[in-house]
Amino acid sequence: MARQLSPRQCAVEATEQVVLHGASLNSVLEPAVADLPAREAAWTRALVYTTLRWYPQLEVLVRESLDRPLRRKDGVIGVLLAQGLAEILHFSTRDHAAVRETAETARRIHRPGAVGLINAILRRALRETDALEARIAEDPVLRHACPAWLIEAIEAAWPERAEAVLGELLREAPLTLRVNTRRWSPADALAALREAGFEARLHDAPEGALTLEAATDVTALPGFGDGRLSVQDVSAQWAAHLLAPRPGERVLDACAAPGGKTGHLLERADGELDLVALDNDATRLEQVRENLDRLQLDATLTAADLGDTDTWWNGEPFDAILLDVPCSATGVIRRHPDIKTLRRADDIPRLAAEQARLLRAAWDLLRPGGRLLYATCSLLDAENQAVVTPFADATDDARVMEAGPEGPIPGASPRSIGVSIPPGLAGGDGFYYALLEKVGD
């Protein structure tokens, strides 16, 4: 009989794939826990998230605790040590259990020679917790568990809020829902959730946003299966409110997958839009179809590059375009802590160039009098106003719109063009929005 994997073994193998091999957490976590009982799978997910959330701190502490660097082929031992430190410093495990079980995990992954090293380093961490905490406090990289380049970029973008923003990125994100207000009133949705035993609270804005007090299986929520409720971060919900599509309009969701905003745009107009959902990834576009099927809504789904118009565009301009561009995703680090490990400083200029290309391509598809909403889930100026401002300055028919028809986003930070939403505002992720109108007849 095959030996069943332990939760810690599953955790270290998933984390190893991220930090040593560059895999995304989304791609490796669920396969890693697939054979575990539900309770153990949940515990394992929590440990992986905690380890990755603090990994920029943990890897430094591990490195400083070693007499000599680990060999490349022993990288998994460093990951396992980081996981053990995460249990001691940031998790709910009893201290000596963390040491014992981490050493046992080394045996399970066929690294028995590392047991002595693991015992020595983790026991020293238990004895010298005060010294570790002092070391962490003196170094911003350790204190914020964030790469130095990203700390600098956040400090530049948020000079008066950098500490709060960096602190927020270490928190767990809440589970926020969107009520389809055309089919269900927010008050009725809240009452139904509470009657079913789910504690939740309504947001004052945007309309239809509510947050659950505890994470849960969303498929068990009343109204989810028939499309009256959807999972969507509160900051992301502003996109449909800002673009405000009207029934009968021709709308392009230019980077549509996985489809949360696509569905919201259609809900806003009672499904009465000629909406094209475009994405260059045909596999991810299937997620859009699944979302729309659950919502009982329809759109034209097209797998193509936005700029390659000869392959997909019929020449009819759009009344409104949502351009939610690929970005560094630094605003959603709470949900995807692997970003801090996988993202590099030299990714940002490359992303900004692609964002500028997509903005130019989308603008050419917009009719005079139409509006375009540029959106990112990035916290960084280089991907936000530094992309939109040069475009607006160089484009004679581009006019900046200060806000959508429902007014400005409460608490958002105005930029030279557009607004940035800091992570944690109303519990939401970090976002940037800039609304442009194409002037003309």
Residues with catalytic function:
377
> Which parts of 5-93 fold into alpha helices (H)?
7-19, 25-33, 38-53, 55-65, 75-90
Give yes or no for a contact between 379 and 158, defined as CB atoms under 8 angstroms apart.
yes
How far is 194 from 197, CA to CA, in rounded Å?
A: 5
Give yes or no for a contact between 427 and 211, defined as CB atoms under 8 angstroms apart.
yes
How far is 167 from 161, CA to CA, in rounded Å?
A: 10
What letter represents residue 369's amino acid? G
Give yes or no for a contact between 57 and 142, defined as CB atoms under 8 angstroms apart.
yes
Neighbouring CB atoms inside 10 A of 128's CB total 13
Tokens of 289: 């179809």
* DSSP structural state of residue 382: G
Backbone dihedral angles phi then psi of residue 304, each to the nearest 5 degrees? -170, 165
> Is the bond leading into 258 cis (omega within 30 degrees of zero)?
yes
Which of 383, 380, 385, 381 is closest to 436 using CA atoms? 385
* DSSP structural state of residue 407: B
Backbone dihedral angles phi then psi of residue 279, each to the nearest 5 degrees? -155, 150
Backbone dihedral angles phi then psi of residue 108, each to the nearest 5 degrees? -65, -30
Give yes or no for a contact between 395 and 351, defined as CB atoms under 8 angstroms apart.
no
H/E segment holding residue 413: strand 413-414
How far is 234 from 210, CA to CA, in rounded Å?
A: 8
H/E segment holding residue 318: strand 318-324
Give yes or no for a contact between 346 and 395, defined as CB atoms under 8 angstroms apart.
no
